[in-house]
């Protein structure tokens, strides 16, 4: 898998959900902070994304615009920035109730597609930690055809469910998340000389990252990783550290431990096998490295016990008790 795919897989938890709603009159919802991630797509009409606590100007969303909230930032969504907001209420099962649509939508209604993802912040990849509180991807003629196609197909499935929709919609939501992140990083994010936006545009660093993610168990050297991108050891080490924020072998170790944690929680694969898949010749060496990173033995981690928490790539904290979803469903208010 490539870096972006791996980053999404490392953080994804639980089943995503979505809704298609028609909003009319003076409507507005307040979404509290959450550890999940979510999005809003305006299909018809306009909506305003209201930052929490008046921190920043409201952002107007036009038809085709997408707003991604990767960090579960509390926010409001309304038909007008001055409309009072009503707290969104979560259902007991963790979903967000979707009132019945009025079909077809009238010309002055706002039609929205909204979705929410459950994510774990325990090993947040820097691709995520560098994202702003919300990402606005405006609709432009001819731009982002793959993203537009995914949005259209999701909207069609939600508007007219067919046999298999229950399986197709979650798959489309996962696809949409990857496309949103790819679109932002590669085409919408302002260019920077350092950080992951620059790293993903650098052929040598990208080649090394792909090699690490493709074969985390391989005993890579800095020289070998530099050769993947056609650079000398010294030149590669400088460039990688500047863009990624840590030396090549330090990132390799961090990704090995991130992969190990995911494997341990995924099933009952023997610890010795997890050790081998992540580049450790012995179970003892693996357990020692794992405990240094996570603050507990691999067996305890597998059982779901909480410890001091792993050291993230940017000083992130420990793993929360559970992943929750960002309230990302808008409903009509009269």
Count of CA atoms in the C-beta half-sphere (13 A) of 14: 18
Residue 176: predicted pLDDT: 92
**Residue where a domain terminates, one of 136, 168, 188:** 188
Residue 92: predicted pLDDT: 55
Contact 298, 290 (CB under 8 A): yes
Q: Which two tokens stand for residue 114?
A: 């909204």
Higher-pLDDT residue of 315 and 200 is 200
Cα 237 to chain centroid distance, Å, stands at 28
**Residue where a domain terminates, one of 168, 188, 208:** 188
Count of CA atoms in the C-beta half-sphere (13 A) of 161: 11
Average pLDDT of span 188-210: 83
Average pLDDT of span 5-21: 81
Average pLDDT of span 116-127: 80
Q: Nearest to residue 157, comparing CAs of 145, 146, 138, 171?
A: 171
Of the candidate ranges 41-45, 129-133, 180-184, 207-211, the one whose mean pLDDT is the lowest: 129-133
Instruction: Using pLDDT thresholds of 50, 70 and 90, give the confidence band for residue 316.
Output: very low
Instruction: Using pLDDT thresholds of 50, 70 and 90, give the confidence band for residue 82.
Output: confident
Based on the fold, state whether residues 183 and 204 are members of the same structural domain.
Answer: no
Based on the fold, state whether residues 12 and 61 are members of the same structural domain.
Answer: yes
User: Tens digits of per-residue pLDDT, 237-269?
Assistant: 999 999 999 999 999 999 999 999 989 988 889
Based on the fold, state whether residues 129 and 216 are members of the same structural domain.
Answer: no
Across the chain, mean pLDDT equals: 82
Average pLDDT of span 200-222: 94
CATH at residue 61: 2.60.120.280
Higher-pLDDT residue of 132 and 310 is 132
pLDDT of 195 over the 90 cut: no
- Domain annotation covers residue 205: yes
Residue 321: predicted pLDDT: 32
Domain interval for residue 289: 198-302
pLDDT of 103 over the 60 cut: no
Rounded (5°) CA angle 325-25-150? 45
Burial 83-110 (b: 16+ CB within 10 A, else e): bebeebebeeeeebebeebeeebeeebb
Q: Return the SS3 of 79.
A: coil
Instruction: Using pLDDT thresholds of 50, 70 and 90, give the confidence band for residue 326.
Output: very low
The C-alpha atoms of residue 135 and residue 188 are separated, in whole angstroms, by 9
Based on the fold, state whether residues 44 and 168 are members of the same structural domain.
Answer: yes
- Domain annotation covers residue 16: yes
Sheet of strand 59-61: strand arrangement: 59-61, 47-50, 75-78, 28-31, 86-87
Contact 7, 200 (CB under 8 A): no
Based on the fold, state whether residues 152 and 29 are members of the same structural domain.
Answer: yes
Average pLDDT of span 206-222: 95
pLDDT of 78 over the 60 cut: yes
Instruction: Using pLDDT thresholds of 50, 70 and 90, give the confidence band for residue 187.
Output: confident
- Domain annotation covers residue 232: yes
Residue 159: predicted pLDDT: 84
Instruction: Using pLDDT thresholds of 50, 70 and 90, give the confidence band for residue 286.
Output: very high
- Domain annotation covers residue 193: no
Q: Structural domain tally of the chain?
A: 2
- Domain annotation covers residue 309: no
**Residue where a domain terminates, one of 188, 209, 241:** 188
- pTM of the entire structure? 0.76
Residues 6+ apart with CB under 8 A from 37: 68, 69, 70, 71, 72, 116, 117, 119, 177, 326
- C-alpha distances out from residue 12 to 5, 48, 123, 148, 220, Å: 11, 28, 11, 23, 27
The C-alpha atoms of residue 207 and residue 240 are separated, in whole angstroms, by 11
Average pLDDT of span 139-160: 90
- Domain annotation covers residue 153: yes
Average pLDDT of span 300-314: 61
Burial status of residue 250 (CB atoms within 10 A of its CB: 0-12, 13-18, 19 or more): middle
Based on the fold, state whether residues 141 and 244 are members of the same structural domain.
Answer: no
């Amino acid at each position: 898998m490539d870096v972006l795919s791996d980053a999404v897989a490392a953080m994804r938890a639980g089943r995503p959900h979505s809704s298609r709603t028609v909003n009319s009159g003076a409507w507005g919802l307040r979404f509290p902070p959450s550890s999940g991630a979510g999005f809003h797509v305006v299909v018809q009409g306009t909506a305003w994304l209201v930052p929490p606590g008046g921190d920043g100007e409201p952002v107007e969303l036009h038809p085709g615009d997408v707003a991604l909230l990767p960090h579960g930032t509390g926010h409001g969504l309304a038909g007008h920035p001055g409309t009072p907001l009503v707290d969104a209420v979560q259902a007991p099962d963790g979903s967000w109730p979707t009132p019945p649509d009025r079909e077809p939508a009238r010309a002055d209604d706002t039609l929205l597609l909204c979705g929410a993802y459950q994510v774990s912040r325990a090993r947040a990849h820097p691709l995520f930690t560098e994202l702003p509180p919300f990402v606005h991807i405006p609709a432009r003629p001819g731009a982002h055809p793959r993203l537009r196609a995914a949005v259209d197909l999701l909207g069609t499935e939600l508007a007219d469910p067919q046999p298999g929709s229950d399986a197709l919609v979650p798959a489309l939501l996962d696809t949409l998340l990857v496309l949103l992140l790819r679109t932002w990083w590669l085409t919408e994010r302002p260019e920077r000389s350092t950080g992951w936006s620059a790293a993903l545009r650098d052929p040598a660093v990208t080649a090394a990252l792909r090699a690490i993610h493709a074969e985390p168990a391989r005993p890579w050297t800095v020289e070998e990783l530099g050769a993947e991108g056609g650079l000398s050891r010294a030149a590669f080490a400088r460039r990688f550290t500047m863009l990624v924020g840590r030396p090549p072998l330090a990132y390799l170790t961090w990704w090995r431990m991130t992969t190990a944690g995911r494997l341990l929680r995924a099933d009952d694969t023997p610890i010795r096998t997890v050790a081998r898949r992540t580049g450790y010749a012995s179970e003892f060496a693996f357990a020692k490295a794992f405990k240094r990173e996570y603050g507990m033995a691999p067996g305890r981690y597998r059982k779901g016990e909480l410890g001091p928490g792993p050291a993230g790539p940017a000083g992130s904290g420990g793993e929360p008790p559970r992943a929750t979803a960002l309230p990302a469903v808008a409903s009509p208010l009269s």
